[in-house]
Amino acid sequence: MGVESNHEKNPEAHSLAESHGLQTAVLTESIRRLTEVIELQAQQQRSWKIALRNGLFAGLGGILGATVVVSILVAVLQPFRRLEAIGPMIDKLDTALHQKNGR
C-alpha cells in the first residue's frame, strides 16, 4: 500500500484544487483582455495627438510653402513687367496680391 496523495484521500480537496485552477485561468484571461483594452485606449489617445500635431505642421508647411512659391514667382516675373504681352498680367497679379495683403 503506497502513499496516497491528499486528493485521493479527500475528493473535496481535489475538486477545490481544480476549481481554484479554473478560477486562476479565468482571472488570467480577464487580466490579459483588460491589458489589451488599456493598451489600445492608450494607443488611440496618442494617435489623435499625433494626428493633430501632424495636421498642424502640414497646414503650416503648406502656407509657408505657398508664400515662398508666390514670392519667388513675383520676383522672377518683375523684370518682364515691361513686355507688352506679359506686363498687364503681372500688374494684375501684383495688384491682387497687394489688395489681399491690405497694402
Cα distances (angstroms) measured from residue 100 to each of 26, 43, 69, 94, 97: 68, 43, 16, 10, 5
Only one residue has cell 496618442, namely 46
In a domain, 94, yes or no: yes
In which element (H, E) is residue 5 found?
none
Only one residue has cell 518683375, namely 78
Domain containing residue 76: 6-101
In a domain, 66, yes or no: yes
pLDDT tens per residue, range 3-53: 445 555 666 666 766 777 788 889 999 999 999 999 988 888 878 888 898
**pLDDT of amino acid 30:** 94
In a domain, 15, yes or no: yes
Domain count, the chain: 1
Q: Dihedral sign for Cα 17, 19, 20, 24, please.
A: positive
In a domain, 1, yes or no: no
The DSSP string of 28-72 is HHHHHHHHHHHHHHHHHHHHHHHHHHHHHHHHHHHHHHHHHHHHH
Q: Give yes or no for residue 1 having a pLDDT over 50.
A: no
In a domain, 40, yes or no: yes
**pLDDT of amino acid 46:** 79
